[in-house]
Structure 1
Amino acid sequence: MTGVLVVDDDPHLLKVLKIALEANGYTVTTAADGRSALLAVTQHPLELIILDLGLPDIDGTTVIRRIRSWNRVPVLVLSARHTSDDKVEALDAGADDYLTKPFGPDELLARLRALLRRASEQHQEPVITTDSFTVDLANHRVTRDGNDVRLTPTEWNVLELLVRNPEKLITHRQLLSEVWGPAYAKDSNYLRVYMAQLRRKLEPDTGNPRHLLTEAGIGYRFQP
């Protein structure tokens, strides 16, 4: 079970988040202020922290800095503060991501999955090999027939998400949200363009792809 600490001084929000996260398989610890949060980090095995900035005793940014002095657990900030300065300050203090209130539960869960995935990837950067091309995730390198394949940053991001989830169907919405951001979740034209480019660069037969497969109307799948 993945341990998550939720820190917020709003008891209703704490309850809602606890129910939603537990329903999705997380083990949840809650704290209503900064001191309780810092204590909880020392007492519970945690894979992720969800933290409000506006705490009653210690500012959330200070809590992040104190945690970062000895622990690298990913931190997702939740806050009603909307200015860029607040976001930059939290990120500079060591937060890994920032979600502004109000937010939807689907976006929150997607952010959590992305943070946990990145944390896991820091310990394992595999090389994925197919009969057509090889992807070296650690070195951000793609080769085909022994030659380097030049990808744009966006092409790489699309390919990386697919190859990290072999044989798993990745929906249009998930790809768009994770590569371009939630605001682009319905702009599937982006995907068609970039998938066509990737197939031209990587597939032996672009009209009959073997590795970058389309699930009509749903999404894409990487077949090793």
Structure 2
Amino acid sequence: MTAPVPGAPRILLVEDDEVIREATQLALERYGFPVETAADGLEGLERFRAAPPDLLLLDVMLPLLDGVGLCRRIREESQLPILMMSARTEPIDVISGLEAGADDYVVKPFETAVLVARIRTVLRRTGLQPAGPAPAAAPGAGAGLRVIEDLEVDTEALEVRVAGKPVPLTPTELRLLLEFTAAPGVLMERQTLLERVWDYSWGADSRVVDVHVQRLRAKIGAARIETVRGFGYKLRRTT
């Protein structure tokens, strides 16, 4: 077994199938990731609380507490990156996982290189950088502050407030909001968002964008993000 790379992001793998769990753990450790495992949802929750990892790799179908339920419980306590694994590709299964708070999903069976690429992509979102030039700041606002009505996005501190109240966002949600606030009123096509937010230059599943937009709307106000049917979304300009 390859020794974990010092300082490498720690992964908590929650998978009930012993063969898949061990094979995935060994494969990820060969890439230098320290991996801790759990065999059911409740054990996964306990291990998360005992020693929060840098990323959670989570199977959908788990005993005691399923993956969707576990994802929701963790989202109540943390915004850490979550990648879900599933052999089920029906829209309702994919959307349920994303709506529960997952950042992305990968379909079983998968090649290790594909899984590692997805993990690295999700982890990159935790090292957020402001997305493009900020619009002109409101009078008296700092240079890194984007103000649109009562929505404030601090691109330096990476904090979001609505009507003065902090709004907790996952790294993916924050990157999405940074894209919208960099160009209010400008149409953002789904493929453009996949490339900029998810780092996908190939034809990935656009449902990931739709569900994350829904989650973002629920946190900052549904009316702020307009749907341009058949194309994508745009942030409403200040009136």
Name the TM tier (shorter chain): 0.5 to 0.7
Shift of 1:181: 3.5
How do residues 113-152 of structure 1 correspond to structure 2 at under 5 angstroms?
A: 113-121=120-128, 124-125=129-130, 138=178
**Partner of residue 99, structure 1:** 106
**Partner of residue 16, structure 2:** 9
> TM-score with structure 2 length normalisation?
0.55
**Partner of residue 163, structure 2:** none
Shift of 1:156: 8.0
Residue by residue, what CA displacement relative to the aligned partner does 1:117-139 show, whole Å, maximum 9, x if unpaired? 11221xx32769xxxxxxx9955
Distance 1:157 1:76, change over 3 A: closer
Find out whether 1:40 has 2:62 as its counterpart: no
Shift of 1:180: 2.0
Shift of 1:15: 1.0
Shift of 1:68: 0.5
Shift of 1:110: 1.0
Equivalent residues of 2:194, 2:204 under 8 A apart: no
Partners of 1:181 and 1:19 in 2: how far apart? 29
Segments of structure 1 that go 5 or more residues without pairing to the other structure are: 129-135, 143-149, 162-174, 184-224
**What letter is aligned with 1:40?**
R
| 3-state DSSP of counterpart to 2:73 | helix
| 3-state DSSP of counterpart to 1:181 | coil
**What letter is aligned with 1:125?**
P
Distance 1:24 1:82, change over 3 A: same
How do residues 147-162 of structure 1 correspond to structure 2 at under 5 angstroms?
A: 153=189
Aligned sequence identity (%): 36
Find out whether 1:63 has 2:85 as its counterpart: no
Find out whether 1:21 has 2:43 as its counterpart: no
Q: Tell me which structure has the larger Cα radius of gyration.
A: 1
Distance 1:14 1:180, change over 3 A: same
Equivalent residues of 1:107, 1:182 under 8 A apart: no
| 3-state DSSP of counterpart to 2:127 | helix
Segments of structure 2 that go 5 or more residues without pairing to the other structure are: 1-7, 134-154, 156-174, 206-239
Q: Please, which of 79, 88, 95 is the counterpart of residue 88 of structure 1?
A: 95
**What letter is aligned with 2:12?**
L
**Partner of residue 180, structure 1:** 202
**Partner of residue 73, structure 1:** 80
How big is the alpha-carbon RMSD for the aligned residues of Structure 1 and Structure 2?
2.8
Structure whose residues are more often helix by fraction: 1
> TM-score with structure 1 length normalisation?
0.59
How do residues 43-54 of structure 1 correspond to structure 2 at under 5 angstroms?
A: 43-54=50-61
**Partner of residue 204, structure 1:** none
| 3-state DSSP of counterpart to 2:48 | helix
Equivalent residues of 2:132, 2:179 under 8 A apart: no
Distance 1:29 1:85, change over 3 A: same
Q: How many residues align?
A: 151
Distance 1:62 1:156, change over 3 A: closer
Distance 1:86 1:23, change over 3 A: same
